Structure 1
Amino acid sequence: MEILRKGKGATIGNDKCDLVLKNGKFINVFTEEIEEGDIGIIDDTIIGIGSYEGIKEIDCSSKVICPGFMDGHIHVESSMTTPESYGNVALANGVTTVVADPHEIANVLGIDGISFMLDSAQRSPLDIYFMMPSCVPAVSFEENGAILSAEDLSKFIDKPEVIGLGEVMDIPSVIEQAPSMMNKLNVFRDKIIDGHAPQISYKHLNQYILSGVSTDHECSSKEEALEKVKLGMYILIREGSAAKNLKDLISAVNNKNFRRFLFCTDDRHLEDLVEEGSINNAIKLSIQSGIDPIKAYIMGSYNGYTCYGIKDKGAIAPGYKADLVILNDLNEVDIYKVIKSGREIDDYNKLSYIVKSENTMNIEKLKEEDFRILSNGNKVNVIGVTPGSLETKLLVKSSKTIDGYLDMSEYEDILKIGVFERHKNTNHYSLGYLSGLCIKNCAIAQSIAHDSHNIIVIGDNDKDMCKAVNKLIDIGGGITIVSEGVLIDSLSLEIGGLMTNSPIDYVYNKLKNLNRLVKNYGLKPDMDAFITLSFMSLPVIPKVKLTSKGLFSYDLFKFIELSFN
């Protein structure tokens, strides 16, 4: 054991450490105390706490040192950058490890998409562990680009970076013990299995946990979180771009149960990662909400590593990896330096590899008349957006009928929404209505539409909606904004319609401009139109969503009529 020999030499004063953090205070995750002492580092490992000399030393007087943060559940694709590029942004926020579920790109490219993510992650400065996607497609009726079986997923199980099965969203398949789902659960029975069970009944929750699921990141209330913790689950408190659950969940955390809570971002746009942060933001918000700072940092580091069985990270002690965050201020989570694998991280914008990609927009151009909706009655089911949540409401509105088609123009806050299958050129699509985004005189189209990632579009007029979709097809996927028949701006996401090779600065500035433009057309200041829109087609989130096959009720778990009498 070479590190043991080197550690002995440094401890008795014969040798110097590679790096020593001098004169600092640090969080002890085992005792929940702030302690003092030099932190000696050789190679990528902490060899001891005490008094050490180093070839390089960092004076940490007036600083506080904590373990590197961990994001317990993310979809890298939601940053619109590759894993390699994403790692640089995460490290700037003190996140040194993430657990990623690549089910977004897997829904487009299948096994090839997973292989791409694992390959790109090897070039990232970040430690990226993977959960294999359990639900591709999310539910059996979805129209996506691939279907992954237990046999497909088993091809990845022996890779060291693959630590479990990703969020099990198809709850009916678990409850009914569908063979395809049982096979996947069986393949990963000796690894971690992530959950996805919003508002599940207590009876079904017991069976769900019995199937091997041990985590959940879909709680939306304190009561729901406590119910799941009492049955032994780990709760991932999510603070993403659209889903911001921390405020509602943090009061569930107390001195007796806080070891069962950790943080995740799930889906977070690059703009938010750069401006607000990642897990560092969640820690800061928790402290502001009254959580003891040391407990907040433990939730942001050690608890996550414990949950996912990663034994050599998340603490400042001999034998742990030297993934550390040096803070100017504990309560403000003000980062001074980040240490990853025993060295300082200096360059957060380096991208060394360009991915070759093929156009995945397999769909014919649309016509304006494709956006007309036949009337089946004078009442209409409308999707109601809930700010700060992925969950929606089911609203019922009255409608006019003109020449046999629905006309909702009397409502200033109701937009038309469409989902168009784009993987296999089936010509399948559906149309509906949405309330809560408030944009006027424009249309937004994007190829980011969880989880099947078909084309999703909203607008207040058919002409702009048609133009936005056709421009999206032209650029190979991404985001387009059209007003009065003119393309206002766009972002090309040439990798599966989800990610881009473009540099971080370019993507960040482009997203800033896209958000600014949409707000000029009436979007509320505190809303992200693009990430909100991306979840309006995900049928495994309450209460109603639109897929390429129609309007789907989560509560009934079946399709419902758009208009009726």
Structure 2
Amino acid sequence: MEKVKRNIDAAMLRMKADLVLKNANFINVFTASIDRGDIAIVGDTIVGIGEYKGEEEIDCTDLYVTPGFIDAHVHIESSMIMPEQFARVVIKKGVTTVIADPHEIANVEGTNGIEFMLKNSEPAPIDIFFMLPSCVPATQVEDSACVLNAEDLVKLINNNRVLGLGEVMNVPAVINADENILKKIDIARYKHIDGHCPIITQRELNAYLSCGVRTDHESTNVKDATLKVSRGMYIMLREGSAARNLKDILPAVNNHNFGRFLFCTDDRHIDDLLEVGSIDNCIRISIKQGLNPIKAYIMASFNAAQCYDLKDRGAIAPGYKADLVLFEDLKGLNIKKIIKNGKEYTELQSKKYLNLKINSSMHMDFVNSEIFKVQSGTENINVIKLIPNSLETKLVQRKVENELGYIKKTIEKDILKVAVFERHHNTGKHFVGFIEGLGLKHCAIAQTIAHDSHNIIVVGDNDKDMEVAVNTLVSTGGGIAMVSEGKVIAQLNLPIAGIMTFESPYMVAENLKRLNRMARSFGVRDEYDPFISLSFMALPVIPEVKITTRGLFHYKKFAFIELMSNNEKNINLKE
């Protein structure tokens, strides 16, 4: 009651506001215009627009002011740092709220992983909300450490920072009315349900949306995005480190539907966050591509707030949360100050870290190079072909030479072995396949970041380097390892579930840049982030073909396919 009275008194000029942004040119999300006036703030709330005096004042004559940015869908684990540290990076990029899906750590640590993310994010300088992972594992054809059922999720659904159910990736389970997925959807029926439907027919989309799904971040073309918007979905323009669909679907945004579009980063490495940005990067790219700047700022704030029913933020108006970005250059977005909860953010604010004891998540035996030999009875094999700047792949057939019952080499030059090893329960499950397009030579890369089950995935052009790379991760407890001529040439340790670290963001970023430079020196092409691209080769819910511990998985068929191919009509050596 006292707080409300102070707000009213300040709005009526019976007392000074705590903070006033004087002469501000601010984005009005309701009229899609730039208005001018003082912005009066009491506590964490905007109380008035007009002419005001404050105990503290900031002259904004030469600045623009916009609502704080909202990342509508992000996996914090992909930054490789903890939530509290992640927040201190993105707030400087103007991001004041994120909606995070912790399904990466949940696949390894279950509900304990989710609770870790909730606790570590409590002292964060931004608001971190969570969506409960709906698909752990992503499908029943994977081998994750944990399985989360509706009974597990119901214990967390009423947490005030849980907004609903995270991306429902198992589309076939939904349209076939699988009881387990329907139970999970049911517990979130009064909250929000995120979608994940990259390739879907109109009839399947109708069934999918009838369950209450309202968002999608997997559109890759204008036609797909337009259809989904016409069916009532919110579409996220994604600009991650590997998946960059923003430019492809931006032309779908127009004056009639732009309220249904928002921005997200999904999976973004820490070096990209520090050097290129987060949602601020999405805004700059959109404006450069021709989007009206005001629309870009509205999509980055108000649209996301409306989508997730965060009614207290996303706008500059009385009664709204004082999360604001002060910046120069409407098109270039040169950020000068961040106001969070009514106060200017500074790095001098205290840092709080949880004192955590982490057990190793690595449970598998060492491997021998013999395990990478592939038996063959045919001259043709199915190969995963990478697509630049995309998480999607293509299935192609290639010729091989055989020797003594094993594949000796492939005819094509840019084809490598790729293998996945189950690391959570020491089952010994593994599969060796082939991948085309990465460009890596005289080297092997292994990592425990392999969405979403996060088993070990390794790629290389010789069996010995692949052996050493995998065994290095078994010894260190997880992370990334690069090996050449049988020696470890670079590595990054990730002791938290094999996907995150306690190290500072800047140290992790420097290590990643060093690893990237090393990968480039061994031939990895510029159009691929070697580590993110590799991490998604094990995710079977993204088209067209992926590799798991159980074999090659075809998304459209939603079934495993043989490595060996006898269909010569499908072979296209020039592709």
Specify if TM > 0.5. yes
Alignment of 1:421-440 (within 5 A): 421-440=422-441
Residue aligning to 2:506: 505
Q: Aligned pair in 2 of structure 1 residues 467, 348: CA closer, same or farther (>3 Å)? A: farther
Residue aligning to 2:250: 250
Alignment of 1:306-385 (within 5 A): 306-347=306-347, 350=351, 352-385=353-386
Deviations 1:199-226 (A, max 9, x none): 1011100000001111111001000000
Please tell me the residue identity of whatever aligns with 1:131: M
Question: C-alpha root-mean-square deviation of aligned residues, in Å?
Answer: 1.2
SS of the aligned residue for 1:24 comes to strand
Q: Residue 98 of structure 2 contacts residue 129 of structure 2 at CA under 8 Å; is this kept in 1?
A: yes
Shift of 1:8: 3.0
Separation of aligned partners in 2, 1:50 and 1:132: 41
Separation of aligned partners in 1, 2:402 and 2:352: 54
SS of the aligned residue for 1:35 comes to strand
Shift of 1:152: 0.5
Count of residue pairs brought into register by the alignment: 565
Q: Which runs of 5+ in 2 are unaligned?
A: 567-575
Residue aligning to 2:39: 39
Alignment of 1:195-344 (within 5 A): 195-344=195-344
Residue aligning to 2:107: 107
Aligned residues: percent identity?
A: 52
Shift of 1:162: 0.5
Shift of 1:163: 0.8
Separation of aligned partners in 1, 2:264 and 2:9: 40
Separation of aligned partners in 2, 1:347 and 1:403: 63
Deviations 1:141-165 (A, max 9, x none): 2100111111100000111000110
Shift of 1:7: 2.2
Shift of 1:538: 0.3
- TM-score (structure 2 length as normaliser): 0.97
Alignment of 1:423-502 (within 5 A): 423-502=424-503
Shift of 1:410: 4.0
Separation of aligned partners in 2, 1:564 and 1:426: 28
Deviations 1:331-382 (A, max 9, x none): 0111111111111111189463343211101000010111111113110111
Separation of aligned partners in 2, 1:395 and 1:2: 68
Once superposed, which parts of structure 1, at least 4 consecutive aligned residues long, lie more than 4 Å away? Answer: 348-351
Separation of aligned partners in 2, 1:211 and 1:297: 31
Separation of aligned partners in 2, 1:154 and 1:343: 36
Residue aligning to 2:418: 417
Shift of 1:11: 3.3
Separation of aligned partners in 1, 2:316 and 2:239: 26
Shift of 1:4: 2.6
Q: Residue 445 of structure 1 contacts residue 481 of structure 1 at CA under 8 Å; is this kept in 2?
A: yes
Shift of 1:12: 4.0
Deviations 1:469-505 (A, max 9, x none): 1111111101111111111111111100011111111
Q: Residue 225 of structure 1 contacts residue 252 of structure 1 at CA under 8 Å; is this kept in 2?
A: yes
Deviations 1:497-554 (A, max 9, x none): 0111111111111111111111111112232100000000000000000000000001
Residue aligning to 1:79: 79
SS of the aligned residue for 1:338 comes to strand
Alignment of 1:56-75 (within 5 A): 56-75=56-75
SS of the aligned residue for 2:236 comes to strand
- TM-score (structure 1 length as normaliser): 0.98
Separation of aligned partners in 1, 2:431 and 2:316: 54
Please tell me the residue identity of whatever aligns with 2:58: I
SS of the aligned residue for 1:37 comes to strand
SS of the aligned residue for 2:538 comes to coil
Q: Residue 78 of structure 1 contacts residue 269 of structure 1 at CA under 8 Å; is this kept in 2?
A: yes
Please tell me the residue identity of whatever aligns with 2:109: L
Question: Does 2:403 correspond to 1:402?
Answer: yes
